[in-house]
Every structure is written in structure tokens, then in C-alpha cells.
Amino acid sequence: MRKPKTTIVKAYAKMWPRAVFDIKDKGKLLRDVLDLLDQPGVYVLYRDDQPYYVGSATRLIDRLHKHANVTKDRYYNFWNYFSAFIEGGPFS
């Protein structure tokens, strides 16, 4: 029996604007991506095109939403784009 292969990243959102957390009427694509972020992974906050902060979370959407909308968050004022990488798992 073959050992299942593993992948490090199963999905990602790269260089998305912070403004996605402000959109009231979310289209299907945006809803699908935000639903995908309801998983564990790592993220990068960018100031323009420069990485500013790297973090990890068990629910990426919660952590990114906090960084984007909680004014007392230490990174609130310092980023305008993010990338998120969803943790992979075994696949056959």
C-alpha cells in the first residue's frame, strides 16, 4: 500500500487588499475565499508590497478580520494587503 503524499499548502489568497473586510455585498468569489479562510494556516500582512508581519492562526478569517477592524490591534494602521496560505494535509 502506498503512503499518502502530503502537501504543505492546499490553497492560498495572494496580495488581497485589506478592503475586502469592508465590502458589504460580498460576491460569490469573495464569499468562497472568505469561507476558505475559516481554516488554519499562515498569513503575511504587507505595507504596500513589503512584508510587514507574518503570523499563524487556527482560523485565518478571525485573525485577519481582527487585524483589519479592531482599532486597538497593534498592526491595525500598518498594512494594506495580505496573503494567506491554508495548511495542507494528506492526499492520494
The angle subtended at Cα 34 by Cα 58 and Cα 30, nearest 5°, is 165
pLDDT per residue as tens digits for the range 26-71: 788 788 888 889 999 999 999 999 999 999 999 999 999 999 999 9
**Among the CATH numbers 3.40.1130, 3.40.1440, 3.40.50, 3.30.70, which is that of 5-91?**
3.40.1440
Are β-strands 50-57 and 5-6 bridged in parallel, bridged antiparallel, or unpaired? Answer: unpaired
Sign, CA torsion 66/48/55/91: positive
Q: How much is the pTM?
A: 0.82
**Which is nearest to 34 in space by CA: 19, 14, 13?**
13
Q: Residue 89: its pLDDT value, please?
A: 62
CA distance 56 to 43: 6
